[in-house]
Each structure stands twice: as C-alpha cells, then as structure tokens.
Structure 1
Amino acid sequence: MSKICLLPDHLVNQIAAGEVVERPASALKELMENSLDAGAASISVDLAEGGSKLIRVSDDGSGIDRAELALALSRHATSKIASLEDLHKVRTLGFRGEGLASIASVSQLSLSSRAEGSEQAWRVEADNGLIHEAEPAALARGTTVEVRDLYFNVPARRKFLKTAATEYAHCEDVFKRVALSRPDLALTLTHNGKVQWRLKSESPSERMRAVLGNEFADSMLQIEQAAGGLRLAGFAGSPTLSRAGRDAQFVFVNGRFVRDKVVLHAVRQAYQDVLHLDRQPLYVLFIELDPEAVDVNVHPTKTEVRFRESQAVHRFLFHSLNRALAETRAGSLAPNGDSPADDVVPGSLGTFSYPKPSFEQMRMPLAVNEGAPADFYGTLFGGLREAARAQDALASTEVADRPVPTYVLPAAPQTSRALPAGEDDFPPLGFALAQLHGVYVLAQARDGLIVVDMHAAHERVVYERLKTALDAAEMPTQPLLIPLAFPADRLDVATVEEHADTLRQIGFEMAVLGPNQLAVRAIPMLLRDADAIELARSLLADIRTVGASRMLTEKRDQLLASMACHGAVRANRSLTLPEMNALLREMEATERSGQCNHGRPTWFRLSMNELDKLFMRGQ
C-alpha cells in the first residue's frame, strides 16, 4: 500500500475543477456571478465552439487591484467572507474562493481588470495552473476574464463534453437565468462571432417578454406576497400555458438560482388543481428571506439550498401561489393572452363585481340569468334570415336541377330590450349567441368572440362550490323522493356500513337493503342532475381504494373533482340562451374558472383583429 502524502496544489485544483466546472456552462456561471457581485451594470459574454474553445466575460464592475490579481486565482481566496459568521449569512453569489482557481487549473486563463480610481489596467495569465506576473493592459474599466481551451490538459475530462451546439445550449441557459434574475442589467451574448442576445436594462415584465416570449408575458400572473420575514415576488404562468418539461421554471432565493425540492413541491401542489395531467407550469419566482435562515453552502455548484424552516417556506409558497391562481377567473385574463380590457386587473373584472355565492344560493340549482337583451338576439337571427333569403333567391336564378341549400334557423326570442349601449355594458365573457354541436357556447364580448367548453366550465363551477361547502362543513343535500335501489357486491355493502358518517359528510345518504343491494336516499344538492347510482358506485370504489381518512384529506380534491365531473352538464345537452348566460356569469364569479379540474382551458377568445386577419379585411 502506498504511503500517505499531501497532494500537489495543482492536482487539488484539478480535482476541485471536476466538481465546480462540469462543463463550459459551469465556468460561465462562476464568471457571471463574480461580475454580479462586483456591482456590474452591463455584462458581455463571448463564446466559441459552445464555450469549449473560448469563454470571455467582460463587465463594468468595481474591478480588482493589481496586488490582488494573482491572489484572485489562488485557492480559497475571496473578498466575500472572512469568518464563520459571514458564512452563515452569505449575501453574495460567489463566495467559496475556488471558482477562478479551479477554472485556471484546467484552461489557459487571462484576467484583466481596472479597479475603480486606478489609472492603469493590469492583466495576469495562468497557464496549466501556473500564474505569471501582472503586466499592463488596455481596459477602460471593470474586469475581463478570458478562458481558452477548457480541459486542454485533462483529455479524459474533455472527451465527456458534448457537441458545440449542446454545450452552447447549456451556456445560453445560464445566460437566461442571469437575465431573468437581473432585469436592470444590460447583457450581450455572442457565439462564434454572431450576436445571439442583446438585452437592455428594462422592467421585469419587459425582461420576461424578451427572454420567455410573448405567450408567457401576455398570460403571466404577477405575484407580490410577504409574511413572517418571507417575501415572494415574480410571475406565474397561466395554467393553460404549460410544457412537457421543466425548462421554463426559474426560482431565485436571495438572487441565487436554485433547484430546491421544497420549493418545487410547493409550486407543484399550488398548480395541481388547475394543471393538465403531467404538464409542467412556467414561472419565474423570487424568494427573499434572512440569509441566516437559508444555507447556500450545501453543494459545490451552489444550485441547492437548505432552509432552516422548510415547512414554513413550503406553506408560504403554496398559499401565496394558490391565492394568485385562484384569481384566474374567466374574463380576468384570456387563455390566448388577450386582456378583456386595459383597465382590468386580477380580481376586479372591470366594472362588474361578482361575489362568491352564499350557501343559500348554493342550495339552489344553477340560476337562470337573462343576460343579453332580447333585441340583441332578434337582430342577430333576423340578419341571418335575410342572408338566407338572399342566398335562396340567388340560387333560384341558376340551373334548375342544381340542388339549393336549405337553411333551418332557430326561432328568435321575443324582443323587449335594446342592444347594449356601449362596450361598458358587456360583462367580461359577453352575452351568449348560440350553442355549437351541443359542446361549445358562442358569446359576443366587447371585442370579438368567446368560445366556451360548457362541460369543462360547468365542471369547474361545481367543483369550486363543492370545495367551499365541504370546507365549511355545510354540504347541502337533496333527499330523493323515491330512494334509488341498485345491486351491489358485498364490498360495496361493507363500505357503506363502515363509512356511513364519511358519506354523510360529503352529502350522501345510503342504506343497506340486503346482502347484495343498496339504496341512495340523498345526494349533494349541487349534483342533483347527476346519475345518482353511477355516482354512488364511483364514490364507493374510491373510498375502498384510498381509504376514508385519506379521501377527506390528501385525496379530497380528487374526490370532489370526480363528483363534479358527474354533476356537470354533459356534451350534446341543449341549453337555452338564458342557461348559457347563467353559465357565463357563474364562470366570471368562480375562482380558477379559466381551467377545468384537469387543467384544460374552459374558454377562448378571438378578437376582432384576429377575425379580420382570418378574412383578410383591410388588406
């Protein structure tokens, strides 16, 4: 066995580089974080061959004195901490004192800097870990770090690098993180001599649009919450705007990009009620708390943190996001990104105010609201009849044996009121016009056409009512005049006998008529139109599979979502115009009504501009 001996410093640096500098993107992250800590207002990044040939980061920060240039490339040298107490309340991004030394040990590195107040810039070079003497350089201000031929002296590590395109993609991701975290920074990214990104100092919302695109910026929800020393700010994407991967999820803790399990779980829980299947939400969130309440020194790459009070952080994030997502009422933000009105803010819905329904209202079936003035429909259908008669007259002048289309139009309602006087007379989702194929409700809004999936929309309305009633322990029930008996197996009978109290708690009353027969005596009032027997069988199967206690706690929302699906209006059911308008008004008053229980959008808007483009009007 070999004798124990100290490793050479150069080998120690190369071993550390294996942890800190996984790929060019890791080196870029260290260099850009140093620029941020130096107080830079602008940063320029130049890459070649995905960063494997060249990484150059230039900033206009405070710079480094000549006497400290060589020291900056030494191991465990830093200006950011000096004691254990400083380590417990780290406020800077780079603090370990290993980044530059590790990069220099596996590359040809040049460090040029001009400190504030200095008349001369200086440069030091490191080749294979050997640091040369400082020499004069030409630099107006700030610092420039140039890294060439990464891993040129560690062939075994270099062969694990991917293609230039792949490595560039990772570098670009690092650049985007910095861009999102600091909208006030001016940033430029060049690859192989071509400018890929040029961002000016701008507002947070403008930076979101520049980096994540118009679709995210048009539908994002702004968040601003604070409680108990915690602050959450940022932007959450609309639930209808989701992706298969997590490439658009950004969380910053005290300005540091992190991937933390506690944060990811809290966000996922907040979205689970409105997200479709295994889709991933988009968000950019900034969490601020006392630096002593979070440990950022738990991983060499500093992308993982440990919260001192992780449960408190989880609860705060969940409730803050859940509250913001609850305001996604239909009409507050259009699923395609168009706001119904410039003066509409989340929760206000313009000039219309819709309080939550009371329990007395919840005990009643879906209320009928006349909604649109009757003359509105009379004018609409009258115009269609005139168009049909003109088409028939035109067809009659053509070849006699040519088939003439027949138009069957709905009867117009009796007219008694005039059209809406102006745009302010329209509620956010407008007034119903017609039903399409028994599935969609068409409505005229202030500026365009609203299309509503009636089953998905009503499902969300019923679901939110069920949640409110169960939370208040006031689930309204509807006794059946004649109990509905149905055959059941012995497991279903046993479930009713064992969990009668649980069933009553969620609005069901069931009785055992025999060893293989059950009867439904009462169901939740909100589900009065559902198939009671089918609903009962589904409920008993869920309780038997999951257990009554879990069904009312962690699986509660799944249970209520299933019940709501049974109680919602089905496709191909004909609705009258007052019923359609009643559904629209309910959507405007219901939290999260922009999505159904499965995360699918419940409505869509086509603006007049979009319709004009489809028909090439004005072109």
Structure 2
Amino acid sequence: MADIIQLLPDHVANQIAAGEVVQRPASVVKELLENAIDAGADTIKLIIKDAGKTLVQVIDNGKGMSPTDARLSFSRHATSKIRNAEDLFQLHTKGFRGEALASIAAIAHVELKTKQPDDEVGTCLVIEGSDVASQEVVVTPTGTSVSVKNLFFNIPARRNFLKSDAVELRHVTDEFHRVALAHPSISFAMYNNGSESFNLPVSNYRQRIVNIFGNKTNEKLVPVDEDTEVLKISGFVGKPEFAKKTRGEQYFFVNNRFIKSAYLNHAIASAFEGLLKSGTHASYFLNLDVDPQTIDINIHPTKTEIKFDDEHTLYALLRSAVKHSLGQFNIAPVIDFEHDPSLDTPYNYKNNQAKAPKIEVDSNFNPFKTETKFSGSSTRQTASFKPTPNDWDSLYVGMESKGNDSEEHSETDFSELQFESEEETTSMFGSDQPVETGSSTYQLHNKYIVSTIKSGMLLIDQQRAHQRILYEEFLKNITIKEATSQQLLFPLQLHFSSQDIEVVRQLKSDLEHTGFVFSKVDDGEVEITGVPVGVPESEVSIVLEQLISDVENEVPDSHFSATDLMAKSMAKSLAIKTGQTLKSDEQEYLVNKLFACKEPNMSPANRTAFITMSVDELDKKFM
C-alpha cells in the first residue's frame, strides 16, 4: 500500500497557524502593538480603516531591524526572544513564538518599512500570501512601520465570518486599551478612518485610565497596593456605586500582559460581596507582578490565559488586598481594633480639662407677667393676662359661648377646608384599559402568571411577556415616529467613554423617536431633558448602558436592523424581572396586553412566553 502521509507546503502550514493566531483584525492589532513594545518604542501609532478589514498599520520609533532580520522575521518560528527551552520560563517580553508575522503574511498583503538608528536608509519588504513580492532600499524614519492590508483576501470563507464594522471596531479598541493600559510610560495614538480616536500621552497609571475612559472615571477609582514575597498588586478598583451591568471595565495584567482569569475574577467578586447590587459587576484595573518562573503563558495561542503554580495563594492575597483597600478608604464597613482613642479629640484640646457651663437664672422672671403677642389675619393684637394663683377658674370664662358660636359655623368652616391630595401612583402597565373585577389570574413564585381558559390552564412567564409587550410598543414608536415624552424637572447628566459617546450619537435620532430628548451629546457627557413615558429616571443610565453594549456586540444577531436591535435592548432593560410581585389588576392587564400583540407566543429573544395545559393533560397527571 502506498504511503499517504506527506508534509504540508509552507503556505498551507502558515494558513493553518494563522487560524489559531489571527482570528479577526483585532488579533493583528494585538500582535503588531506587542512587537512595537518589544522593540523599545516610546511612541506608537495605530491606523485602521474599515475596522481593520482594509488596513491595520502600526508605526513605532523603536530600534528597527536590519535587512536580513526583516526578511527572516516572516519565517515560521523565527524569534529573537528564545534560544533554548529554559527561556520559556524567563520571559519578560510580549511576542516570543515567532509565529505572528508569518501567520499574518499568509493571509494578507503586508508591507514592512524598518530602519535602525545607525543606518542611513531602511528596508521596504512587500509580502503577499507568504510570497515575497519585493525587497528594496527605502528612506524611512528610525523604527518600524507594518501595514497589513486586505485581511483574509485569499480565504474568503474566513472573511465572511467577520462581523460588522461596529463589532470589529469594538474588538480592535479593546485590544488597543489592553496594551495601552499595561504601558502608561509609552505614548499611544489611534486613528480610525482618518479621524483621531485616542491620543494618550505618557502619564501615570491613574491618568492613563482617565484618558481612556473619561474624566468622570477619576472619582470612581479606589487605589489597591500590596507587596508580598509571592505577589505585588497595584492598580485600582471601582467604587460599588459605579458598578455596571456589563463586564467591560475589568482588566488583569500579569507582568504587564493582559490576561483573562475567571478564578481571579471570582476573588474580586468575593471581595465586593455585600456591596454590589444584584446583576452588577465592579470595575478593576489591577497589575500583578509575579516571578516569571511561577507562571506558564504558553498554554494558549493568543497568550491571554496563564497557568499559575499556586492559584490558591494568589486568590487569597488578591481578595484580601481589595477588601483592605475598600475598608481603608471607607468604602466598606470595618472594625478597627488598633484605634487610638486620643485621636478622637483635637490635639489643641487633648490635655485641657472640661469646663462646667455657667447657668444664669433671672429670679425676677415671671412668665404670667409677660405680654403674649399673636398675629391675626389682618391686624396685630396684644393680649395681656395677669392671673393670680386663686383665679385659675377665670381662664375658662366665656368658653361655652364661644363653643356655641363655633358650632353654628362649624359646618361652613369645614366645608372650606382643603386637604392635600395623596400622590397618585400609576400602575406599572398604565391604565389606558379598564380592568375587570373578579380577576381569574394568580401569580406563582413571583415568576409565572396562571390564568384559566376554556380548554384548561394558561401559564405565562411575566418577564418574557412584558418584554414582548414593550418590544412591540417601542418598535411601533420608532417606526411611526410619534412617541410621547415626559420632561424632566432637572436635566439628567450621564458620563460615558469616547467610543460609547460615538454609539449614542449614531443612535440619537432613533432614540428621540422613542421619547428621549437630548440637549447635549459631546465630550464624554450625555445630557437628557426628556425620557419616554413609563421609563423611570433611575433606569435611564441602565437602559443606555445595555443598549450601547448590545449595539457594539450586535446582540442578538447581525441580521437584525438597528431599529429592531434598539427596541429589543430597551425592552430587555425595562421589562419587569423575575421575583417582582404584581397586583391582580397588573396581572390581568399583562395578560390582556400580551394577547393584543402580533406575536404573543414568543419573547423578542425567540423564547416561549406562555404555555397551555388542557384539562385532559391535567387529568392524566392524576391517573
């Protein structure tokens, strides 16, 4: 039988490796930025077009490469970081495998320009699909410029799997943030389709966070600093009152390398236990410095997962450090057993004796000789009454006649009284339809609504049903552009990052059709003067945060329009939740509104909203 095993050609092997290393344009951004940092650059520029599908270019002022190194850098497993296997456990750099540039060159058009400081001219290398098209001498500044064009041009199937520009741009921005946060001593700039998105000068770590996420972030940060023999922790965590529904602002850096760790994330959540509202997540920006020999960063192609020698110790130290910071800055209640009582008294009065207050009594004071003045409706009258100890009965003389007179006018007097009306509370679902008395609904475990029908029983999921009701209402309002709005007494000011502001600006017109009224959308701040009827003011920030997150990640699917996506996101945020108690009239109204919808049987997320159970099915349960 003939031999069937054969070696793969280099270009095929490179494309297979590219499938592990390069998943989307953000993967290229990560690899090129890390190479620029390893080159010793202190100024790095990222230029992208069409969310990186057309162009990803990284320009740095590092040490550059020689012509030979420039050619060799695109070979597989060619690296300057490793000489033997032991070097894998002494890594202090980013890229070390030597696969990134070879994988990128296999599935894109790459142009490399590089020059070393001592050379007069540099090298320009052009590679198309692993094939070197040209290598020429070129005049270029010191450093390296790598341009990756037409990603996945020779693999159409992989290109079709890419999401929309908004989603891919979000991933690119996330990678840019991760690298920029890990290196505040390096100046970064990002340009998207010719416009500047970020310009981050050299700064300290706190200022780098503020420059990325907005000036309002500064007041949200609580410092964390702990130094032990095993681990050094530095960075910041967010205050509990600023916790978000999404996990966007959560960053772990181990030896200046961004990682994802559900185990360490649980340590942070445990430190915040009892301080966060249900369903919210605290923000954190933490740097962990450990001995490189105690970690293995070579277990995942993207190097975002790390294996620790002693995870339990790191968990305990991280949890304790965060809890200590929260208590130290009066974020969480603490008991201080080393409290010095002398600190309670100001230093200037520490040794002074307490002075007894002086009490002065006027022996001539007689309250019954004092004239009592009282003001009437139109004139000021002065009454003077000087009773003697034996004339107390005279105080009540004339009260009977006055009482009789008052009885005669009591009916007219009370008829003119006006009482403050109690605050009217509207029903959760409004009151545009009358509710019949004698309700036949029942709420089960604050989750389901049970109702009777001719054939048997109806069981409705209250959260999904309300989502369907709100979804169709919002979709109708956006479509016909006739939504009603309620004006706020005081404008509501919300703060977002620059990329979130851009999303709000894109959705502004559609949001206005739902009932929102914006007076300002700029400079990291959104000012709202009106909200849709039925939307509580306290829920506005939650609605917008959820909407921004859904739009950036295209939830639930890229095939839906922006209008449909917005209606679904708002319905998901504003619908009643499982566990909320409903009155009988609210239950009845929910049932009536659900079956007035066009698609009552499914929620906006295509999940069953209600089920029916016939009498025959119930009878079978008792057989």
Q: TM-score range by the shorter chain?
A: 0.5 to 0.7
* Alignment match, 2:93: 92
Residues 269 and 354 (structure 1 numbering): CA distance in 2 closer, same or farther, change over 3 Å?
farther
* Alignment match, 1:220: 221
* Alignment match, 1:325: 326
Instruction: Name which of structure 1's ranges 47-56 and 122-131 shifts more when overlaid on structure 2.
Output: 122-131
Could you tell me how far 1:225 is from its partner in structure 2? 0.6
SS at match of 2:144: strand
Q: How does 1:263-278 map to 2 (within 5 A)?
A: 263-278=264-279
Counterpart amino acid of residue 74 in structure 2? L
> What is the alpha-carbon distance in structure 1 between the residues aligned to residue 48 and residue 342 of structure 2?
53
Q: Are the counterparts in 1 of residues 326 and 332 from structure 2 also a CA contact under 8 Å? A: no
Counterpart amino acid of residue 188 in structure 1? A
Residues 184 and 402 (structure 1 numbering): CA distance in 2 closer, same or farther, change over 3 Å?
farther
* Alignment match, 1:141: 142
Could you tell me how far 1:134 is from its partner in structure 2? 2.4
SS at match of 1:277: coil
> What is the alpha-carbon distance in structure 2 between the residues aligned to residue 161 and residue 97 of structure 1?
25
Residues 406 and 134 (structure 1 numbering): CA distance in 2 closer, same or farther, change over 3 Å?
same
SS at match of 1:301: coil
User: 1:17 and 2:18 equivalent?
Assistant: yes
User: 1:240 and 2:241 equivalent?
Assistant: yes
* Alignment match, 1:171: 172
* Alignment match, 2:191: 190
> What is the alpha-carbon distance in structure 2 between the residues aligned to residue 15 and residue 393 of structure 1?
96
* Alignment match, 1:109: 110
Q: Are the counterparts in 1 of residues 63 and 116 from structure 2 also a CA contact under 8 Å? A: yes
> What is the alpha-carbon distance in structure 2 between the residues aligned to residue 12 and residue 259 of structure 1?
28
Counterpart amino acid of residue 181 in structure 2? L
Could you tell me how far 1:229 is from its partner in structure 2? 3.0
Could you tell me how far 1:238 is from its partner in structure 2? 0.4
SS at match of 2:140: coil
* Alignment match, 1:130: 131
Gaps of 5+ in 2: 346-373, 380-413, 424-528, 530-623
Q: Deviations over 1:482-533 (max 9, x none)?
A: xxxxxxxxxxxxxxxxxxxxxxxxxxxxxxxxxxxxxxxxxxxxxxxxxxxx
Could you tell me how far 1:138 is from its partner in structure 2? 2.6
- Give every structure 1 segment of 4 or more consecutive aligned residues whose post-TM-superposition deviation is greater than 4 Å: 351-355, 401-407
Counterpart amino acid of residue 229 in structure 2? G
Q: Are the counterparts in 1 of residues 198 and 212 from structure 2 also a CA contact under 8 Å? A: no
Counterpart amino acid of residue 22 in structure 1? Q
Could you tell me how far 1:105 is from its partner in structure 2? 0.2
Residues 261 and 330 (structure 1 numbering): CA distance in 2 closer, same or farther, change over 3 Å?
closer
Q: Deviations over 1:571-617 (max 9, x none)?
A: xxxxxxxxxxxxxxxxxxxxxxxxxxxxxxxxxxxxxxxxxxx9xxx
Counterpart amino acid of residue 307 in structure 2? R
> What is the alpha-carbon distance in structure 2 between the residues aligned to residue 354 and residue 109 of structure 1?
68
SS at match of 1:240: helix
Could you tell me how far 1:393 is from its partner in structure 2? 8.6
User: 1:157 and 2:154 equivalent?
Assistant: no
Q: Deviations over 1:76-130 (max 9, x none)?
A: 0111111111111111111110000000000000111111222111111111111
> What is the alpha-carbon distance in structure 2 between the residues aligned to residue 403 and residue 86 of structure 1?
93
> What is the alpha-carbon distance in structure 2 between the residues aligned to residue 249 and residue 293 of structure 1?
23
* Alignment match, 2:6: 5
Could you tell me how far 1:264 is from its partner in structure 2? 1.2
Q: Are the counterparts in 2 of residues 69 and 134 from structure 1 also a CA contact under 8 Å? A: no
SS at match of 2:241: coil
Residues 224 and 127 (structure 1 numbering): CA distance in 2 closer, same or farther, change over 3 Å?
same
Counterpart amino acid of residue 211 in structure 2? A
* Alignment match, 1:507: none
TM-score w.r.t. structure 1 length? 0.54
Q: How does 1:401-480 map to 2 (within 5 A)?
A: none
* Alignment match, 1:565: none
Residues 354 and 128 (structure 1 numbering): CA distance in 2 closer, same or farther, change over 3 Å?
farther
> What is the alpha-carbon distance in structure 2 between the residues aligned to residue 48 and residue 226 of structure 1?
43
SS at match of 1:222: strand
Q: Are the counterparts in 1 of residues 89 and 292 from structure 2 also a CA contact under 8 Å? A: yes
Q: Are the counterparts in 2 of residues 116 and 141 from structure 1 also a CA contact under 8 Å? A: yes
Q: Are the counterparts in 1 of residues 127 and 134 from structure 2 also a CA contact under 8 Å? A: no
Q: Are the counterparts in 2 of residues 263 and 314 from structure 1 also a CA contact under 8 Å? A: yes
Number of aligned positions between the proteins = 356
> What is the alpha-carbon distance in structure 2 between the residues aligned to residue 96 and residue 259 of structure 1?
20
Residues 18 and 405 (structure 1 numbering): CA distance in 2 closer, same or farther, change over 3 Å?
same
Q: Deviations over 1:200-251 (max 9, x none)?
A: 1122221111112233321211111111231000011001111111111011
Residues 402 and 242 (structure 1 numbering): CA distance in 2 closer, same or farther, change over 3 Å?
farther
SS at match of 1:50: helix
SS at match of 1:134: strand
* Alignment match, 2:121: 120
Residues 71 and 274 (structure 1 numbering): CA distance in 2 closer, same or farther, change over 3 Å?
same
Q: How does 1:228-377 map to 2 (within 5 A)?
A: 228-329=229-330
Could you tell me how far 1:352 is from its partner in structure 2? 11
Counterpart amino acid of residue 57 in structure 2? R
> What is the alpha-carbon distance in structure 2 between the residues aligned to residue 331 and residue 5 of structure 1?
64
> What is the alpha-carbon distance in structure 1 between the residues aligned to residue 173 and residue 265 of structure 2?
23
Q: Deviations over 1:21-63 (max 9, x none)?
A: 0000001000000011111111111101100100000001111
Q: Deviations over 1:340-364 (max 9, x none)?
A: xxxxxxx999x99579xxxxxxxxx
* Alignment match, 1:72: 73
> What is the alpha-carbon distance in structure 2 between the residues aligned to residue 112 and residue 249 of structure 1?
35
> What is the alpha-carbon distance in structure 2 between the residues aligned to residue 330 and residue 169 of structure 1?
32
Residues 330 and 60 (structure 1 numbering): CA distance in 2 closer, same or farther, change over 3 Å?
closer
SS at match of 1:124: strand
* Alignment match, 2:62: 61
Counterpart amino acid of residue 179 in structure 2? V
Gaps of 5+ in 1: 333-346, 356-388, 395-400, 408-436, 438-613, 615-619
* Alignment match, 1:210: 211
> What is the alpha-carbon distance in structure 1 between the residues aligned to residue 344 and residue 140 of structure 2?
62
> What is the alpha-carbon distance in structure 2 between the residues aligned to residue 203 and residue 117 of structure 1?
32
Q: Deviations over 1:419-461 (max 9, x none)?
A: xxxxxxxxxxxxxxxxxx9xxxxxxxxxxxxxxxxxxxxxxxx
Counterpart amino acid of residue 15 in structure 1? I
Could you tell me how far 1:328 is from its partner in structure 2? 4.0
Could you tell me how far 1:181 is from its partner in structure 2? 1.2
Q: Are the counterparts in 2 of residues 69 and 124 from structure 1 also a CA contact under 8 Å? A: yes
Residues 269 and 12 (structure 1 numbering): CA distance in 2 closer, same or farther, change over 3 Å?
same
Residues 99 and 393 (structure 1 numbering): CA distance in 2 closer, same or farther, change over 3 Å?
farther
* Alignment match, 1:375: none
Q: How does 1:461-610 map to 2 (within 5 A)?
A: none
RMSD: 3.3
> What is the alpha-carbon distance in structure 1 between the residues aligned to residue 344 and residue 279 of structure 2?
32
Bigger CA radius of gyration: 2
Q: Which has the higher contact order (CA 8 A, sep 6+)?
A: 1
Could you tell me how far 1:317 is from its partner in structure 2? 0.7
Q: Are the counterparts in 2 of residues 216 and 241 from structure 1 also a CA contact under 8 Å? A: no
* Alignment match, 1:476: none
Residues 133 and 325 (structure 1 numbering): CA distance in 2 closer, same or farther, change over 3 Å?
same
> What is the alpha-carbon distance in structure 2 between the residues aligned to residue 116 and residue 265 of structure 1?
47
Counterpart amino acid of residue 254 in structure 1? N
SS at match of 1:281: coil
Q: Are the counterparts in 2 of residues 115 and 142 from structure 1 also a CA contact under 8 Å? A: yes
Residues 223 and 331 (structure 1 numbering): CA distance in 2 closer, same or farther, change over 3 Å?
closer
Could you tell me how far 1:136 is from its partner in structure 2? 1.4
Residues 221 and 133 (structure 1 numbering): CA distance in 2 closer, same or farther, change over 3 Å?
same
SS at match of 2:59: strand
Residues 195 and 292 (structure 1 numbering): CA distance in 2 closer, same or farther, change over 3 Å?
same
Residues 352 and 56 (structure 1 numbering): CA distance in 2 closer, same or farther, change over 3 Å?
farther
Counterpart amino acid of residue 327 in structure 1? Q
> What is the alpha-carbon distance in structure 2 between the residues aligned to residue 169 and residue 403 of structure 1?
66
> What is the alpha-carbon distance in structure 2 between the residues aligned to residue 170 and residue 236 of structure 1?
23
Q: Are the counterparts in 1 of residues 245 and 280 from structure 2 also a CA contact under 8 Å? A: yes
Counterpart amino acid of residue 248 in structure 2? D
> What is the alpha-carbon distance in structure 1 between the residues aligned to residue 297 and residue 310 of structure 2?
14
Counterpart amino acid of residue 9 in structure 1? D
* Alignment match, 1:200: 201
Counterpart amino acid of residue 21 in structure 1? V
Residues 136 and 393 (structure 1 numbering): CA distance in 2 closer, same or farther, change over 3 Å?
farther
